[in-house]
Amino acid sequence: MKTYICEICGDAYIGEERPSECPFCGARHNFIKNGVEANPITVQPVELSNRSKKNLETTIGLEMKANATYLCMAGKAQTYEIKAMYKRLAKVELEHANIACKLMKSAMPPAGTETCSDADVENFAETVKLEEVATNLYVQFAKESEERNVKIFFTALAQVEADHIQLIKKIN
Ligand SMILES: [Fe+2]
Ligand SMILES: [Fe+2]
């Protein structure tokens, strides 16, 4: 067993092999380092520009909304597999909000509630829409970031949300 650390969320994964994605924030394997080598973006000191502060605040709102939406979808899911998938997606999005709060040095906002459909197929379509909005926004935010760790954060997040679209499209 070894300790691997995700440089995006800073969480440790303990196992025999490096996971293909971070189990906590979904970051791709290239962000997961051997424990001793890891330098997580959330522990690097950074002075945030006003632009980055604004973009991170938008991110926190979007991720909290996604968290509440996916919890609603988990509650309505027709199969245990879909329920478990949405519960995991909800946790991943909550972790994204948590990382943005760490970069901002701010407290997590209270969880809200969102509505969703009773039909899985409609929730899949809504999920793809949400994730497309997030992916495009994070690509733009990555370009706008002057701080190295904020740029890395948005680059990693854009990939994670794009991976979520692929996940949903495979179910359909
Ligand atoms: Fe992670
Ligand atoms: Fe997210």
CATH 2.20.28 domain range(s) in the chain: 2-42
* Superfamily holding 44-171: Ferritin, core subunit, four-helix bundle (1.20.1260.10)
| 97-133 pLDDT tens trace | 999 999 999 999 999 999 999 999 999 999 999 999 9
**Ligand found nearest the CA of 69:** 2
Residue 34 Cα to ligand 2 middle (Å): 24
| 36-53 pLDDT tens trace | 999 999 998 889 999 999
Residues 6+ apart with CB under 8 A from 111: 64, 67, 68
The confidence score (pLDDT) of residue 63 equals: 98
- At residue 172 the predicted structure's pLDDT band, cuts being 50, 70 and 90, is low
Q: Which residues of 143-158 are buried (b: 16+ CB within 10 A; e: fewer)?
A: eebebebbbbbbbbbb
Instruction: State CA 157 to chain mean position distance.
Output: 6
Q: 62: closest CA among 154, 148, 150?
A: 154
**Ligand found nearest the CA of 27:** 1
**Ligand found nearest the CA of 159:** 2
Percent of the chain past pLDDT 90, that is, above it, reads: 97
Q: 40: closest CA among 16, 4, 14?
A: 4
Residue 167 Cα to ligand 1 middle (Å): 18
CATH 1.20.1260.10 domain range(s) in the chain: 44-171
Indicate the class that CATH gives domain 2-42: mainly beta
Write out the two tokens for 106: 């701010």
Q: Against a cut of 0.85, is the pTM above it? A: yes
Residue 162 Cα to ligand 1 middle (Å): 16
Instruction: State CA 79 to chain mean position distance.
Output: 24
